[in-house]
Structures are given as structure tokens and as C-alpha cells.
Structure 1
Amino acid sequence: MFKIDQYAYANKLLSVHPGEKFAFALITMAVGLIFDTINTSMIIIIMMSGATIILAGVRWRLYVKLLSLPLGFLIAGVAAIAVSFSYHDVDVVSGFTVGRFLVGVQPGDLYLALRLFFKALGAVSCLYFLALTTPMTDIIIILRKLKAPPLFVELMSLIYRFIFVLLETAGRIHLSQASRCGYFSFASTYRSLGALLSNLFIRTYWRSRISFTALLSRGYTGSINVLEPRYSVSYKNILAIAAVEALLIVLGLHGRGII
């Protein structure tokens, strides 16, 4: 089981209604995407990180490690926006010339890149809050109650379950190869990795067929129904979420100069 799933099933906010956590994460992410100012995005990052670490009890080392995973993609993406090429001399924060080209970072492009970086990181922090505090089964139940497309929900459920089948199969193959010194040298590692990847698809496909046959034998008709845990709705939490979102909207409007 992933660390994310371990915390999803064993965190301090597990007893909170999943609809409240779902609404809090998605509304906050929507506010951050609409009012994409740096101040609003930074407040969202701090708020969602604090809720995940302090309220849910997630270890901060794990959270920082998870948050650092998308940094490489974000930095590469915003670098392409921040760095520009020009024939003419323009105001740049830092740059150099290559022949007739001026390669540098203009103030407007730098601000746009930073705004995009913090906006994306704020959205990631919202998704991490939902993933680390809410089990996948509860998320699927909420999606069904929201009348999400049944095909989308069913594919989401099946893909989630087969991720663990894939990892378990890969782990068994790797253990078998390692016990036979399959990763002793670079050449053997290369051969073993190729054999693992080629056999992984075949074995996973075989196990998926067995699982599908088992579902059909139990009356599967295109929908996997699970027992729904009973949660109590907290009006105190709803009021707190509404107050936080209203404050974020006010800060976003103020950052845009509307109020």
C-alpha cells in the first residue's frame, strides 16, 4: 500500500464527512485558479499544507517529499515562460547575448512565470490534502452522488485497483530476479529489466482477466458497489469552510484591484 493510502485510511480527519473535505479541496483549488495572484496562491499553499500536516497528522517530511515531486516539471515549464529571445535590446532582469539574439528574463515574463508556478503548486497542495485525508472509496462514492459519468467513475475505480495488482506483480518478478543475481552487474540489470517489463504486461493482463471473470461470476453488471460508511455532517465545518473560502475570494479580488 502506498504511503498516501496509509494516511488516507489512518489520519485525524478520517471521521470527517468526505463531502466536506472534497468541497474544501475543490473549492479552494477553483478559487486559486480563478484569482491567480501570487499572494492568494501562497496563502492557499500554506493553508492546505497546515491542514494536511497539523489537522490530519501527516508527517511533514513525507508531505515535503510529495510536494517536491512535481517541482521538476513546474520549474521546467515556468523556465520556458520566463526566458525569452529577442532581436532588440529590452529591459531584462538577467540575460546574455548569443550572436544577434538577446537571451534574458524580462520582468513581465518573470512575474507571469512565478504566478503560474505558485498557482500550480497551490492546486497540487489541494489535491494532496484530498488524497491524504480521504480514501479512494469515499471519493468514488462522492462522485457517484454528484452524478459524475458512470463510465468515468467505474474506470477510475478499476484503474485504482489494478495499480496495486501491477505493483505486486512487478515486485514478485523483481524479487525472483534478484534472488538469482539478476541485478549483479550493469549488463545483467539491463537484461533483467527488459525481461521484467516484457513479462509484466503478460502477467498483469492474465491477472486482470481472472479478476474480471471473478467479477462476472459475482453478478458484475458494469458497476462495483461497495458498502458506504456513515458519516455525520458537521455544520460547524461547513461554516468554517464557507468563511475560509469567502476570505480567499476577498483576498483574490483585492489582489486584482477590484476591491
Structure 2
Amino acid sequence: MLDIDQYAYSNQLRQVHPVEKALFTFMTMLVCLVANSIITSLAVITLMVGVVIFKAEIPLQFLIKLLLLPISFLFLATVTVVITITNSGGDFLFYFNLFGWKIGVGAGSLIKALNLFLKSLGTVSCLYFLALTTPMVELLSILKRLKIPKIFIELMILIYRFIFVLLETANLIRVSQVSRLGYSSFKNSFYSLSKLVSNLFVRSYYRAKGLLTTLLARGYEGEIKVLEPDYEYSKKNFVLIFVAEILLIILTIYVGGGDFVIINT
């Protein structure tokens, strides 16, 4: 999480207007979600990974590390789509009988699962592009432009800040435990982990309370005001964004072999 925030402030697309990056993200995500095409999903993943690596200059190893987490969850989720259980005939690639029921993998379910997996991974790659290239403060400025109620924006700021407080507190406790050989054995590791979890929220609560006191001492009246850099819109970037989306749509219609649908059946 800390690395994501660091790259958001130091990447090579930092000076690009946040509205342009958000527009590119959500338009590409919309095409990926609506297009019923495996090839379109692969194109979206390739596009986003390419922009993050070659334009934003985020290390490939770090991006792969980030993608492994959603890939593991998506793999477990799509396994339930792949496996078919029926007591009648079906188009199976392979199956076995268990008490009169056929349990196996069908050709149709395999394609559907692959489509779902790649579509989900494509949307995740879009969100990673936005998270790795745009600081949280600038994302909140976009929400202000959209007239989102202030209470929601304030909650997002505080929750985002408290995530780092929680991570920092957990790291301090763990470093203290490691220095006392708290993880020297399997038994000690379980004991130290239980102590870490039990003390983490108590210490985080007091740190959060101290943060609130600091805000009140600085005149906090229910709205956190931060300085926002001045950006200029780039006509070139808007043209590139729309060209990229049009190419993805053309790919879906003429090459991808899928139709635009809202819900797959």
C-alpha cells in the first residue's frame, strides 16, 4: 500500500491531468465490461500494463506482484464456473461419475470462466493504472468536481489516512516482536501474531484519536482542505484516449467475435 502511494507521486504520468487519467480508466473499463470478448479483455490488459510500464515507468516486477493477489482470488472464483455437476447428459471435456452424478468440465463452462476471469482482470488492471499514476488527493478533487457530498469525501480522506496508520502501527509492533525473537519458532509465531492482532486496534485507536486532536488544534471544522496542483488539459491526450477506445470497440466488433452485452447469459 505504501509503495502504491509512493509510485502515485513519483511516476512519469504524474503531471498529466487527473481527469484525463480517470476518463481513460473508466472508458476502458466500460468497454471491457460491456464487450463480451476474450480478445478485447486481453487487449485491455495489454494496453493498461503497457501504459503503466512504458509510460508511467512503474517496475514490471512490482506490477506483477500487485496482479498476483487479484489473480489468486479470481482463479478461485472461476473454478466454481468451470466445474459442472449434473445428473443428465452434457457436453463435457472430461468428467467422472459419483453416485449417478456427472462431475466434470464442459467446453462451454470453460470458455465462460475464461471470459469472466479475463474481463475481471482487465477491470482490475484499469483500476491499478489509476491508483499507480494518480495520488489520492487528486482523485478526491475529481469527486469534488462531480459534486459528491462532502461527508463522503471527508470519510474517504480519513479512512485512507487511517489505513496507513494501521499499517504503520502493525509494522512497529512486528519489528518490536522480531527484535525479541517473537517469531523464532512456530509456537512463538502464533503467540506473537495473536498479541499483534489484539494490540493493533487498541494502539491504532489511540493514534487515530491523537490525529483527530491534531486536526481540531489546527482549526478542523468538518472539511479537510488540501492544496491541489494546477493542471492544464491536453487536447493530444483526449484524442489518444478516444482513438484507443474506438480501436477497442472496433476490435470487439470485427475481431473479438463477441457482441456488446450488459449481462451475460
TM-score bin, normalised by smaller chain: over 0.9
- Measured in 2, the distance between the counterparts of 1:172 and 1:210 equals 17
Q: Which shifted more, 64-73 or 115-124? A: 64-73
Q: Which shifted more, 122-131 or 177-186? A: 177-186
Q: For residue 41 of structure 1, report the CA deviation from its aligned partner.
A: 0.7
Paired residue secondary structure (1:29): helix
Partner of 1:198: 198
- Measured in 1, the distance between the counterparts of 2:152 and 2:252 equals 33
The letter for the 1-side match of 2:101 is: F
Partner of 2:125: 125
Partner of 2:258: 256
The letter for the 2-side match of 1:182 is: G
Partner of 2:48: 48
TM-score if structure 1 supplies the norm length?
A: 0.95
Q: For residue 257 of structure 1, report the CA deviation from its aligned partner.
A: 5.1
Q: For residue 48 of structure 1, report the CA deviation from its aligned partner.
A: 0.6
- Measured in 2, the distance between the counterparts of 1:19 and 1:32 equals 20
The letter for the 2-side match of 1:228 is: E
Partner of 1:64: 64
Q: For residue 223 of structure 1, report the CA deviation from its aligned partner.
A: 1.6
Alignment of 1:9-158 (within 5 A): 9-158=9-158
Q: Which shifted more, 176-185 or 225-234? A: 176-185
- Which structure 2 residue ranges, 5 or more long, are not aligned? 261-265
- Measured in 2, the distance between the counterparts of 1:213 and 1:3 equals 28
- Measured in 2, the distance between the counterparts of 1:91 and 1:127 equals 37
Q: Deviations over 1:212-248 (max 9, x none)?
A: 1211222222221100101111000001101111222
Q: Deviations over 1:81-103 (max 9, x none)?
A: 11110112322112211120111
Partner of 2:263: none
- Measured in 2, the distance between the counterparts of 1:242 and 1:35 equals 17
Q: For residue 181 of structure 1, report the CA deviation from its aligned partner.
A: 2.0
Partner of 1:163: 163
Report the count of equivalent residues: 258
After TM superposition, the runs of 4+ consecutive aligned structure 1 residues lying more than 3 A away are 253-258
- Measured in 2, the distance between the counterparts of 1:184 and 1:104 equals 45
- Measured in 1, the distance between the counterparts of 2:259 and 2:37 equals 11
The letter for the 1-side match of 2:94 is: S
- Measured in 1, the distance between the counterparts of 2:259 and 2:59 equals 38
Paired residue secondary structure (1:53): helix
Q: For residue 150 of structure 1, report the CA deviation from its aligned partner.
A: 2.3
Q: For residue 15 of structure 1, report the CA deviation from its aligned partner.
A: 0.9
Paired residue secondary structure (1:70): helix
CA RMSD in angstroms, aligned pairs only: 1.5
The letter for the 2-side match of 1:200 is: L
- Which structure 1 residue ranges, 5 or more long, are not aligned? none
- Measured in 2, the distance between the counterparts of 1:111 and 1:152 equals 40
Q: Deviations over 1:64-123 (max 9, x none)?
A: 121111111111111101111011232211221112011111222111111100100000
The letter for the 2-side match of 1:167 is: L
Paired residue secondary structure (2:92): coil
Partner of 2:241: 241
- Measured in 1, the distance between the counterparts of 2:37 and 2:97 equals 32
The letter for the 2-side match of 1:156 is: M
Paired residue secondary structure (2:13): coil
- Measured in 2, the distance between the counterparts of 1:9 and 1:171 equals 22
Paired residue secondary structure (1:89): coil
Partner of 1:220: 220
